[in-house]
Amino acid sequence: MKNIVIIGNGAAANSAVETIRKHDSQVPIIMFAREDLPEYSACALPDCLSGRVYRSQLFIKQLKDYNRMKIHTRFGYEVQHINTSECTLNSGQETIAYDRLILATGSRAYIPPVPGHELPGNFVVKTVRDIDAIMVNQPHKVLVAGSGNIGIEVAEALQFRGCQVTIVELRERILPRIFDKEPASRIHKILTTKGLEVITGERILRISGDERVESAATDRRLIPCDTVIWAAGVKQNVEMASAIGIKTGELGGIQVNSFMQTNIDSIYACGDCIESMNMLTGYPSLNMLWPSAKRQGQVAAFNCLGQKVEYEGAISFVVEDIYGITAVSMGMTSDALGAEDIQILEGENHNQYWRVLLVDDRIMGMQAIGISSGLGAMMALMKTRTPVSQFRHTLADSALFKKAAWYLPAQRFLNA
Amino acid sequence: MSKFRGYAGFILEVNLSNHDFRHKELASEFCRDYLGGIGFNAKIIYDEVPAGIDALSEENILVFGVGTMVGSTFPTSSRTEVSAKSPMTGRFGTSNSGMFFGTQLKNAGFDALVIKGQAEKPSLIFIEDGEVSIQDATRLWGKDSWETLDILKNQYPGAEVALIGPAGENLVRFACIENGYYDAWARTGLGAVMGSKNLKAIVVRGTQGITPFNAGALLQVSVKARQLIESSPFFKPFKSYGSMNAAMPYGNFKALNAHNFSQGCLPDWKQNFDRPQVEKLIKGHVACQSCIIACAHWVDIKEGKYQGLQMKDMEVTPTTSYGSGCGIGLEASVKAAEMSQRYGMDMVSTGGVIAMAIELYNRGIISQEDIGYGLAFGDDDAILHLMDDIAHRRGIGTVLAEGTMRAAKQFEGGDSSAMHVKGLEIPMIDPRGRWSTWSFGILTNVRGGDHLRCRNPIENLRYNENKHDFRKERFGFDQKMYDALDMPDALKTQAIDLESDTVDIAIMSRWAEDLINLFNSVGVCIRPPVEHRIGPTVIAEAFTAFTGIKISAAQVMQSAERTWNLIKLYNLREGELPEDSKFPQRFYEQEISGKVLDEERVQEVLQQYYRSRGWDMLTGKPGEEKLVELGLNNLS
Amino acid sequence: MNKQLLIDSSKCTGCGLCELACAISKTRQCQPQLARIKVWRDETRGIFVPMTCLQCENPPCANACLMNVISKENDKGLTVRRLEACIGCRACQVSCPFDASRYDYIEDVVVNCDHCEGNPECVKYCPSGALQYCSLAEAIDCLRNVEAKKRCIDSGL
């Protein structure tokens, strides 16, 4: 094999190159990326905003690491065109032939085109440069638009920095894609107790200001602010792929098979830019999370190298630190499960809350607040589709239990 | 990180009457003078419980004192002492238990918990990491202790619970405080004190950790202590067989409490209670916090009448109290242990009261009409039924719930069947069958008739020789064992005479009592291999490494002696008389295997014991010189 | 041959000395919350299970880590962490099926068992033989073999 070219420099791309190098120290690797920066953790950006993590700490790699790994980097260069019949790609600077191409183009932050969204003072939190820009702007009164995990993290980070923060969420509850109503309302209470203003069920209609952001108007009120952070979702970077005939799916991501192959020979895709199979449902879903990206990058790399590894599917797994309280969501929410017959096991004691969603005696999702132990075991049970009745039976039988002692921490969540 | 070393640093005082909470910081003189555990309890109770109060009134104070070494790697450092004025004996009531309650209380920030007053309605105290609250426990009142624990352990995962069962709620005088499912602060009726305060449970959860003064030194002394304990010849048998090691020897000596101390041993004892029968039921071993022995057994009864019963059990206490005392079989005694735990009743006292009831029934003093059903030694159904009646103060249970001393007075001629000393039922050992430091200690124990505070650390269970008119027992070990015993030389030569191969009971008793008191202050277990090999030298070293308080072997022993004397002073203030220290008349009159206690000789040993303690030889009152030596001469 | 920390829970008596020994040797505190090993107790059945990092070949914690702190770059087969890069987000802790990662609240990082440089403290203090340190070849019915290989590699955890 002559070479492997990767477009992207995020979690999926780097997981891919690390996997390649673990198994093949020689094959030439070329990495293209729009940002001229070495790999950094996008997930840690809010921690940098808050000041808890230095900007330099964000970087997972230095340029010398790429050199050490014998990776040819083209950071700051955008791939303009790919010729799939000749297997070449063009960056405006050069034309390169590829044997295998991995698309890990990721996603970009989405800003709804409301009037005023282009005024100075409007930001997203997706890249290091975004953080730089926000800090230069010296925010004081901040409006965070959107209450997904990015929105909540950014809000807490800026409050920690001394800003006065208001969160506006379109839907009736915060963190709607990650938490059911009950846990979401508990988190909502934590946020307001800590001094965040949280508004749900309102839409931002307009950002106003003379030369920069001065206020935002929802369908119900006017919110004075000097900074708007849009945490309203992301759009996948699939335009170039579409242009060259790579199939995308209904959800907007690149379609891949379970070997991370696109419909075009020798071209693979992984990370935020793809639609991945949901491990629990078998259906395509968007799983734009760090661990999914890493695993997909790994699988893509194996298959590039000729080792057939099948992707088991993605599973949602979100860990939030909300004012020191750990909030976790894994698998599917009640909304996502839709019309299924869901059995809910819910419990709380003292400062802990959990809810487990079961369909057909199998764990399909779990949400927990204030708990950090036993969740890994629940995740493993969920991934292995272990029926809860079998779990209980195994625990009750001493001989069986010996082989599955790791079940024990999960026991308290699955009491009958 | 805490500013305290070794200690959590605070005593928590909870007043159930007015819901007042106080965190009292520990003073270093207090720590040096009393160490912890029973030491703390004795001082607090002496100072703050007014003389002559009714033990079941709101004026009584219940104190949980965690041993100093709890929370460390020191082997067997798990023990917590609980004390109050006893409703059974009218004197200092106290009991000691291990497992994990002490760990949680100390990690929650408290070396002791002092409970005062009386709650208006059934309540529970919840303590977590420095925070305290009193919660309503009406929904739990009436439930047995296992049902209650199922609920509380589910509600507070990771917490430990001290609680009472129906017996405590009904003020059965020998009700105990349960320590989780399978352990208890059993003796002297502390459960009734807790019940009289309307306190159902104390739930504790602590995650704060303890800061050792010198972590390296602590680890070193822990390793040393472990090597010492493992080198004891008592270690292996105890590790594999636990407290049951005493069951057969005492049976062979005909020195058990068989059928209410009417025989030295039941004829089928060996057949029903020997190792093979016991091992059939044992599935594994369970340890207390930091214990290297794990003497407790997990019992699983797979067949027969009690099939399906699983619990941590197989101790010599239920097997002798119920198996020997009341004549029921091995598996039935496990069942009786389960019910004792569920009801929350002291097994020794319950077994003692029931054995007395059966004897009275056999003597025709209690009739089937009085009870509602027949009673017989060995009739486990009737005995379990009677346990239930006692726990709920039903029928004859109303009288028996008062304990042997008081219940006997309700029956003409009942006194002669009541096997107690100072109102506390005598466990397991018949001093007539085997006279030793251990049996003598039943007489002098400050909490009443009990064997757990005076065991010769170098007790030799191979021999049963009453030497020199009750004054000595056989030593039976070699020079090496003598040399290795951690005892000050001057005292050791008085206590053990290698030439005559004897141990002086009066002197060894005083040493053993103080040593055990030391263990109960620092929270270390008194099981034979530990008591044998761990002495004041190692304990002083561990104490200093953990707390930073420089203290010598002599000083820790003195602290223990101070505590023992203080408790004696408390008892005297409560009206203890010299004549209280006597065995049941039967021991002086009825022979077991041709042996009987010589009252005069026993009295002489008692006087020698008083002398070795620096107490008045006739009255047993601590002498002025001794009080000055211990700094106890200016008490109110 | 690399050595493994072998856990036989049928021998565990629940004494908790492993937790204390680990915590003291790593942090000088008698603080089981900071120990890299934890004893899970089911006291109503007399079952005690010590659990610690099984040094999985393809660790789920490494996948979950947002800062790529965790790797297998180690000649002893250990799962190692570059703690200076850890931001204490606890994603790894939540993703471990064996609950083996421990949040060090003093340093605000997450740690795992590192075999104490080849001389594990917990093994030294275990009085019942439930914890042993031996090579894979010597191990019988090793938990890592059965569970970690099965769970962590084959199903891509």
Cβ–Cβ gap A350/B154 under 8 Å: no
**CA of A115 to nearest chain C CA: how many angstroms apart?**
35
Residues B337 and B250 in one domain: yes
Q: Render pLDDT for A239-259 as a digit per residue (tens, 0 to 9).
A: 999 999 999 999 999 999 999
The phi-psi region of residue B579 (left if phi > 0; otherwise alpha if psi is between -120 and 50; otherwise beta) is alpha
Are residues C99 and A376 in contact, defined by beta-carbon separation less than 8 angstroms?
yes
- Domain of residue B136 covers 10-205
Of A14, A312, A409, the CB nearest to C156: A312
Q: What is the mean pLDDT of chain B?
A: 96
Q: Does residue B506 form part of some domain?
A: yes
Kind of pairing between the strands at A164-169 and A141-145: parallel
- CB contact B128 to A (< 8 Å): yes
B421 and B506 within one domain: no
- Are B362 and B388 part of one and the same domain? yes
C-alpha angle A126-A132-A138 in degrees, rounded to nearest 5: 115
pLDDT score, position C143: 55
- Picking from B71, B222, B285, the nearest residue to C13 by CB comes out as B285
Could you tell me if B57 and B153 lie in one domain?
A: yes
Q: Find the CB nearest B212 among C14, C24, C128.
A: C24
In angstroms, the separation between the Cα of residue C92 and the nearest Cα of chain A is 9
For A156, list phi and psi in degrees, rounded to 5: -65, -40
- Structural domains of chain A, ranges and CATH numbers in brackets: 4-41+57-107+235-304 (3.50.50.60), 111-230 (3.50.50.60), 327-413 (3.50.50.60)
Helix boundaries (H) for B347-484:
347-362, 368-371, 380-391, 397-400, 404-408, 437-444, 479-484
Chain C partners within 8 Å of B69 (Cβ): none
User: Coil, strand, or helix at residue A381?
Assistant: helix
Interface test with A, best of C57, C63, C151 (most A CBs within 10 A): C63
- Residue A372's pLDDT is what? 86
Do B254 and B200 share a structural domain?
no
pLDDT tens profile C42-83:
899 888 999 999 999 889 999 899 999 999 988 888 999 999
pLDDT in tens, B466-494: 877 899 999 999 999 999 999 999 999 99
Judge whether B485 lies within some domain.
yes
The whole-number pLDDT of residue B362 equals 96
Split at pLDDT 50, 70, 90, the class of B230 is very high
- pLDDT tens, position by position, B365-419: 999 999 999 999 999 999 999 999 999 999 999 999 999 999 999 999 999 999 9
Confidence of residue B525 (pLDDT cuts 50, 70, 90): very high
Interface test with A, best of B155, B205, B298 (most A CBs within 10 A): B155
Q: Is the per-residue pLDDT at B188 higher than 80?
A: yes
Contact B212/C25, CB-based, under 8 Å? Answer: no
Residue percentage of chain C with pLDDT more than 90:
64
Instruction: Summarize pLDDT for B561-614 with one digit per residue, the tens.
Output: 999 999 999 999 999 999 999 999 999 999 998 899 999 999 999 999 999 999
What's the pLDDT at B95? 98
Q: Which token pair is B161?
A: 């619970």
Phi, psi of C15 (to 5 degrees): -70, -25
Please report the ipTM that was assigned to this predicted complex. Answer: 0.94
Q: C34, B1: Cβ pair inside 8 Å?
A: no
pLDDT at C32: 96
For residues B453 and B416, membership in a common domain is answered with no
Element (H, E) at A222: strand A222-224
Same domain, B406 and B459: no
Q: In what order do the strands lie in the sheet with A222-224?
A: A204-208, A215-218, A222-224
Any C CB within 8 A of B293 CB: yes
Return the residue matching tokens 């008692």: B606
Instruction: Give the predicted TM-score (pTM) of the model.
Output: 0.93
Q: Is B172 found in the same domain as B26?
A: yes
**Residue B302 covered by a domain:** yes
Domain map (residue ranges) of chain C: 3-154
Report yes or no on B1 lying in a domain. Answer: no
Percent of chain B with pLDDT over 90: 94
CB contact (8 A) between residue A375 and residue C94: yes
Rounded to an integer, what distance in angstroms lies between the CA atom of residue A107 and that of residue A10? 10
Q: What are the 10-residue block averages of pLDDT along chain A, 416 residues in total?
A: 93 96 95 95 93 92 96 94 93 92 96 95 96 94 96 96 96 96 96 96 96 95 97 94 94 95 96 94 90 95 95 93 94 92 91 95 96 92 95 87 84 86
Question: What's the pLDDT at A111?
Answer: 95
pLDDT number for residue C151 = 60
pLDDT band at C116 (very low <50, low <70, confident <90, very high): very high
Task: Please tell me which chains touch A, using 3 or more CB pairs under 8 Å as the contact test.
Answer: B, C
Q: Quote the minimal CA–CA distance from A363 to chain B in Å.
A: 21
Q: Give the pLDDT of residue C140.
A: 59
Residue B114: beta bridge partners?
B13, B63
∠ CA C116-C119-C122, rounded to 5°: 75
Structural domain count, chain B: 3
Give whole-number Cα distances, B12 to A275, B43, B66, B190, C134, in Å. Answer: 59, 15, 12, 19, 46
CA distance C46 to A79: 63
Same domain, B413 and B444: no
Percent of chain B as helix, strand, coil, to the nearest 5: 45, 15, 40
pLDDT over 70 percentage in chain B: 100
Of the candidates B371, B404, B425, which is a domain's last residue?
Answer: B425
Tell me, yes or no, whether B375 and B455 share the same domain: no
Q: Are residues B254 and B170 in the same domain?
A: no
In a domain, B226, yes or no: no
Give yes or no: residues B369 and B511 share one domain.
no
Would you state the CATH architecture of domain C3-154? 2-Layer Sandwich (3.30)
pLDDT recorded at residue B490? 96
Q: Which residues share a beta bridge with A90? A: A81, A95
The angle, 0 to 180 degrees and rounded to 10, between the axes of the packed helices B347-362 and B330-343 is: 120
B370 alpha carbon, distance to own chain's centre? 33
Residue C28 in contact with partner chain B when CB distance is under 8 A: yes
* Length of chain C as a residue count: 157
